[in-house]
Homo-oligomer: A and B are copies of this chain.
């Protein structure tokens, strides 16, 4: 796992870590049962405080995408639907609305948008078909 953070971004470090592990597990880059780097190892690698990594890990556990074995480490959980169907739909709708709101101000036409989206989805790896 190659985690990268940028301190200049307006998004907190621990959220960047959470996001990258979320994605790695969702895409299968990190398979079920595989161990995540230890809090101290990752903290040392990223030159940040181990508490910050620990904070990210608690989020991963709370989200159910990683399981904790105190004394052993953190491990990627089984890929499964964490949310209910309603929650899943709600999150999708919210994400989409946020995206459209962003794009609205850019003045793209529906055609341009559709074309761009289809392209991007097609080339996005590891979204199951």
Residue of A26, A117, A120 most packed against chain B (CB within 10 A)? A117
Would B96 and A110 count as touching, CB distance under 8 A? no
Q: Closest approach, in angstroms, between the C-beta of A104 and any C-beta of chain B?
A: 5
What number of copies of this chain does the assembly contain?
Answer: 2
A51 to B96, CA, bound (A): 31
Closest Cβ neighbor of A82 among chain B residues: B105
Does A114 sit within 8 A of B, measured CB to CB?
A: yes
Q: Closest approach, in angstroms, between the C-beta of A50 and any C-beta of chain B?
A: 25
A79 to B121, CA, bound (A): 30
Interface residues on A, range: 35 or more
Does A41 sit within 8 A of B, measured CB to CB?
A: no
Q: Please, which residues of chain B bring their CB within 8 A of the CB of A106?
A: 83, 88, 91-92
Would B109 and A128 count as touching, CB distance under 8 A? yes
Contact with B along A35-79 (1 / 0, CB 8 A): 000000000000000000000000000000100000000000001
A124 to B104, CA, bound (A): 10
Q: Closest approach, in angstroms, between the C-beta of A31 and any C-beta of chain B?
A: 16
Candidates B91, B99, B101; contact of A98 at CB < 8 Å? B99
